Amino acid sequence: NEAEFVACAGAPATTDCPYCSGGACYQTGFCGASADCHGGEVCTRGLCQPVGDPCDAPVSIDDIRAARYSPGKHVCVRGWTSFVVPAFDGDTHVQLGINSQMGFTTEMTRPYRERIGNPPSLQQVSIYGAIRWDPAHGWWEVHPIFWWR
């Protein structure tokens, strides 16, 4: 809810918000047991992972851009990877091409990259992760990526 998000923003590791970054709140997916994960996920080697294919009902990127989902909500998006590049902060940017004019940003954090690897460039993929507002760029994104295929 908005009140929890506002209380969390800028305050890492509060009870209501597992992780804040740059004023945005999201669940990183770190866990000690499956009870630490969202429903439909299990704790595997310290990271929450979906049980089965979480992408049977992908959401619209336009709906994410229109802020129809709360920060931290776990969603699946589909698209073509236009590029996969390392970022200065240690994350990997996985840009999904929507059309020749626009793209959509998703990001893989190091703990997930070390366990599941980066998606390939120029491939159609399904990406499952948490919605996050990136205040530095002024857009909604999926960050971190928890799973892809």
Point out the least confidently predicted range of 9-23, 49-63, 111-125. Answer: 9-23
The Cα–Cα gap between 14 and 7 comes to 9
pLDDT at 57 (0 to 100): 85
Hey, what are 7's tokens? 């209380």
Q: Categorize the per-residue pLDDT at 28 as very low, low, confident or very high, splitting at 50, 70 and 90.
A: low
The Cα–Cα gap between 82 and 64 comes to 19
Average pLDDT value for residue range 21-29:
53
The Cα–Cα gap between 82 and 56 comes to 23
pLDDT at 70 (0 to 100): 86
Hey, what are 30's tokens? 């770190």
pTM: 0.74
- Runs of H (alpha helix) within 18-122: 61-65, 110-116
The Cα–Cα gap between 149 and 136 comes to 28
pLDDT at 102 (0 to 100): 67
* Strands of 20-138, DSSP E: 20-21, 24-25, 41-44, 47-50, 74-86, 92-97, 103-108, 124-134
Convert the pLDDT of each residue in 64-119 to its tens digit.
999 999 888 889 999 999 989 998 888 899 999 865 556 899 999 888 888 889 99
Higher pLDDT, 146 or 47: 146
pLDDT at 111 (0 to 100): 84
Q: Does the pLDDT of residue 58 top 80, yes or no?
A: yes
What stretch of H or E contains 146? strand 139-148
Higher pLDDT, 101 or 2: 101
